[in-house]
Homo-oligomer: A and B are copies of this chain.
Amino acid sequence: MANEFVSKAVIKRLPRYYRYLGELMNEGVEKISSAGLSEKMHVTASQIRQDLNNFGGFGQQRYGYNVKNLHNEIGLILGLDQPKNIIIAGAGNIGKALSKASDFSQHGFNILAFFDTDPAKIDPEKTIPVYDMSSIRDFTSKNKVDIGVIAVPGKYAFKTAHTFIECGIKAIWNFALVDLDPAVPKDVVIESVHLSESLMTLSYNIKASEEKK
């Protein structure tokens, strides 16, 4: 690990490198050059080398990059070696969809429990138990929780975020259409998925594409 601060643009590309290297690994490919990876990923070889060299020199002149080694190194950079415990606020459809996505658990993300306010949804006997929201403090005091997911309706998002923070949760994955960053202490990290905004971007591009004809 070399540099102190790495630009957000670089960070957002790391999981994609990780994915392609994982695929190459599964195909039994042993080594790859930045030019080879460039062709596969449709980014410039220069960008790949620049990005990687934010974290260290993983390649070797003449040889290129060892696929398995680089995959592992990027995993370490992303912190995937440290399993993460997750709780989800909101046992609705989004929450359930997330809990069943197998690719999360494959990378060490373990969903421990749901929390909801709707008594009809509470069921501590499920594989992933659904507890009452009021028991979240008790739960977090007994279990190490790394990530809190906000999958509640928008109007409850801030309240949920504050509950998470009170419980000492330092990372929030937010699916509500609100901007939490300004409302949260500096040592709490937020990653938001704003589905409506993604859909609106698509809508814009539909129009732009039609006009181009």
Contact = CB atoms under 8 A, between A and B. Distances in A.
Per DSSP, are chain A's interface residues mostly helix, strand or loop, or mixed? helix
Contacts of A107: 196, 199-200
Contacts of A42: 179, 181-182
Interface residues of A, number: 58
Interface stretch (A30-38, A44-52, A75-83, A112-120): A75-83
* Copies of this chain assembled into the complex: 2
Contacts of A199: 104, 107, 109, 173, 191
Interface string A182-201: 10000101010111111111
Contacts of A189: 202, 205-206, 209
Given A103-B196, A182-B42, A202 B14 contact: no
A19 interface: yes
Contact of A187 (B146, B173, B213): B213
B193 A193 contact: yes
A147 interface: yes
A134 interface: no
A14 B194 CA distance: 13
A63 interface: no
A101 interface: yes
A94 interface: yes
Interface in A85-111: 92-94, 96-98, 100-101, 103-104, 107, 109
Given A14-B201, A147-B206, A193-B193, 10 more contacts: A12-B197, A15-B201, A42-B182, A84-B206, A93-B97, A96-B97, A98-B195, A107-B196, A189-B206, A191-B205
